[in-house]
A = this chain, B = another copy of it.
């Protein structure tokens, strides 16, 4: 075997495995616009090489270097192999027609064509950006075969559906260190996202070093901020991956952290402290003082220099107006200027800020609330309200982005995000010209309940499904295919250092206070954090930025794959079209759940963090028992007694209730089994509350 192994390493440049077949269909995410699988395999061994022909630029060379680094990582090759060749003869030949803009622009061509045959591969693209996207596709094609690592022969023509495909990360509510940002940029590049929207200031922290106004970070960040060098480093890192960086400085609300150092900016008397809790707060900038605009002019000038992107996000959301209403000078100003309400005052502020942003060469971007007819059509609206508000803006001539439906902090299943289309609802009725104003969308990672330890698990892998929605053709909608490819992509993202999978076991070990987490995992695997804003709403005391995020609700994944697959099996079983083995699998899971409580019980008294999930463990055990009993009735062809059924349904009803801010995700499937055993096969099952 060893001889064969070495022989293969020393083999000639192009190795065709001829008729050998690809083992699995290519698991690409996002799916390309067009692909045509061919027969054959291109071997990826240590003799693999890349040649760059056509246009040359440093960014392209670096993209190839990054690609080879990832390829080596995936295949376990040392850094001294897999080289870029000077000659145009190589396993992968790259040809790009032209370079890219000094600052990456919205709408730059990202299309590419990738042709892989047994004798070699060719990647052609109009620009370096297209090459970057194509290289990611190539990496996703790498698979294990009997002959070694290989990519299948295939022909792909690809380009994105939307030009703006973003991920927003809130670094204010919890500070997210640079290394975490960088690995998430790697994840973004892997699924062809192209905008990193960086939410850099909010009530809970001002996270950028300002040299002109140093009290912003010195007093507004607990020492947790990015230096300008770090910002430049992140921007360069993103650029190497074909990603634009759009900064957001939220104003006039969501701005308490500014006022700690500069209380004179606020509409109410200071002093101010960094907010420790979550929610909407009263402090807002004073739109009536010229000093406010002088400050913002200087500040935006500085940040416009630091962040090269064309777009500058001013937030603009959720101003409750209380400070304005309480300030007689502001009221007098409004009266004097014919501003009838707080909305008018904010619109006045936005107009002033828009002129400043524009003066510094940038295009203003803001949340829904900034949309008022008195702002020029050049601004872009980011909608947290929904596709209809987006369509509304498009009709009025404004460009827009969809983020409603893409809030990954709400703990929705991937399928729900995936179904959310920027062109749905009212947008579907727009004229083509109006539709062209819908630029795309952004996944949003709001950070009330994320830490550097678990933030990846809230972003990934679900954001890959959003990325597919924004890149792939609209008719790519098959959920089974999506989930299968999402799982493969999730594992592949591990190679980039993302911790969405790897953080789980260490967090469970901490919770359990032991290395033996088999039983804790059985429970954890069927739990999900409560959805939407329920965590906030059900907290017995308000959480703060000092609250440890080390509980089961912080470790549990947003979407339980175990529960999803169990639901599929139960559906098939109840409908009578289960495949062989499905019933045994369902029984085995039910049995494991029933017995798990026995294994866990002893640990509850020795760990405070574990103890709060004791009721969930008891419920899991009870549901396992109930499910097994229901299957007995079904197997025997008997109808379960009505009294038994209602008793069990009461148990399910109880198990549906959140405990420790967690949901037991198998409850609906157990309900189906119980109803089926009682002859109520058609009865609909409700999702957990």
Contacts and interface: CB of A to CB of B under 8 A. Distances in A.
Given A5-B551, A9-B546, A145-B608, 16 more contacts: A2-B660, A2-B661, A6-B540, A8-B608, A9-B548, A46-B546, A46-B548, A75-B510, A75-B550, A76-B507, A76-B548, A77-B548, A79-B222, A145-B607, A148-B608, A502-B502
A506 interface: yes
A481 interface: no
Interface string A485-504: 00110010011000000100
A502 B550 CA distance: 20
A202 to B, nearest CB: 15
Nearest to A541: B6
A23 to B, nearest CB: 5
A144 interface: yes
Nearest to A6: B541
Interface in A494-549: 494-495, 502, 506-507, 509-510, 512-515, 539-541, 545-549
Nearest to A511: B144
A611 B8 CA distance: 14
A684 interface: no
Contacts of A175: 79
A510 B145 contact: no
Given A146-B608, A222-B79, A605-B146, A2 B550 contact: no
Interface string A58-78: 000000000000000111111
Report which residue of A143, A451, A539, A608 has the largest number of chain B beta carbons within 10 angstroms of its beta carbon.
Answer: A608
B76 A549 contact: yes
The 3 closest A-B pairs by CB, nearest first: A144-B513, A76-B550, A1-B612
Contacts of A146: 605-608, 611
Contact of A144 (B510, B548, B661): B510
A76 B510 contact: yes
Contacts of A509: 491
A174 interface: yes
Contacts of A46: 546-548
Contacts of A145: 513, 606-608
A81 interface: yes
A609 B491 contact: no
A250 interface: no
Nearest to A145: B606
A172 to B, nearest CB: 13
A611 B146 CA distance: 8
A103 B605 CA distance: 49
A3 interface: yes
A5 B77 CA distance: 48
Contacts of A609: 144, 148
Contacts of A502: 502
A54 interface: no
A329 B660 CA distance: 83
A513 B548 contact: no
Contacts of A541: 2-3, 6
A3 B608 CA distance: 12
A147 B606 CA distance: 8
Interface string A75-89: 111111100000000
Contacts of A605: 146
A224 interface: yes
B515 A144 contact: no
Contact of A453 (B2, B76, B147, B512): B76
A77 to B, nearest CB: 5
24 contacts: A2-B541, A2-B612, A2-B661, A3-B540, A3-B541, A6-B540, A6-B541, A8-B608, A74-B510, A75-B548, A75-B550, A76-B451, A76-B510, A78-B451, A78-B546, A80-B546, A143-B513, A145-B608, A146-B605, A146-B608, A148-B609, A491-B509, A491-B515, A502-B502
Contact of A487 (B77, B512, B515): B515
A174 B79 CA distance: 9
B1 A660 contact: yes
A540 B2 contact: yes
A632 to B, nearest CB: 27
Interface string A245-286: 000000000000000000000000000000000000000000
Contacts of A2: 539-541, 612, 660-661
Contacts of A607: 144-146
Interface in A546-570: 546-551, 554
A551 B451 CA distance: 35
A506 B498 CA distance: 13
Contacts of A144: 510, 512-514, 606-609
